[in-house]
């Protein structure tokens, strides 16, 4: 359920909603119309299945890669070692960036840069696929709504 409370003593409006897990989220706005637009956007995301918890959405690429790698430890040692090498390259480019802020154009520019550095096309593709796999798992876990 989403609602906008009456104007508060400080002159702001409190908009709030409950996500699919029943957790309440709220934000304050100076104008009621802004609060309603925010609620409309959130409601559309909830109905469309693309809603992401705002706190979870702050996860950085580096932090998610570390979490992802923990679950990847069941693979063969050589496979895990190669994943670590790929993740080091991913983190060098995107590590401090929030997962939700990574854009497809950035990924294309990064792969072009890797190719320009003389890396083999097959190796650049392997790094790209690793990043796609990591981002796809972030979508599957509900951390981001879609993969870039």
List the chain domain ranges. Answer: 2-48, 56-140
Given a cut of 70, whether residue 1 has pLDDT beyond it is: no
Cβ atoms of residues 11 and 17 within 8 Å: no
Taking alpha carbons only, the member of 141, 144, 147 closest to residue 52 is 144
Beta bridge partners of 116: none
Lowest mean pLDDT among 17-21, 29-33, 84-88: 17-21
3 state SS of 120: coil
Architecture of domain 56-140: Orthogonal Bundle (1.10)
Q: In what order do the strands lie in the sheet with 24-29?
A: 2-4, 13-18, 24-29
Q: What percent of the chain has pLDDT over 90?
A: 64
Q: Please report the pLDDT score of residue 103 as a whole number.
A: 95
Q: What value does the mean pLDDT take over residues 21-28?
A: 85
pLDDT digit string (tens) for 50-64? 777 777 778 999 999
């Amino acid at each position: 359920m989403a609602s906008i409370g009456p104007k508060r003593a400080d002159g702001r409006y409190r908009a709030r909603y409950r996500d699919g897990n029943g957790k309440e989220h709220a934000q304050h706005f100076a104008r009621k119309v802004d609060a309603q637009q925010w609620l409309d956007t959130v409601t559309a995301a909830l109905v469309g299945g693309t809603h992401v918890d705002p706190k979870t959405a702050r996860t950085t690429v580096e932090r998610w890669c570390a979490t992802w790698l923990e679950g990847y430890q069941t693979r063969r040692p050589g496979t895990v070692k190669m994943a670590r090498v790929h993740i080091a390259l991913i983190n060098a480019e995107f590590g401090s960036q929030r997962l939700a802020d990574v854009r497809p154009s950035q990924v294309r520019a990064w792969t072009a840069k890797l190719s320009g550095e003389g890396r083999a096309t097959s190796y650049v593709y392997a790094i790209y696929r690793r990043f796609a796999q990591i981002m796809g798992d972030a979508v599957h876990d509900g951390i981001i709504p879609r993969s870039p």
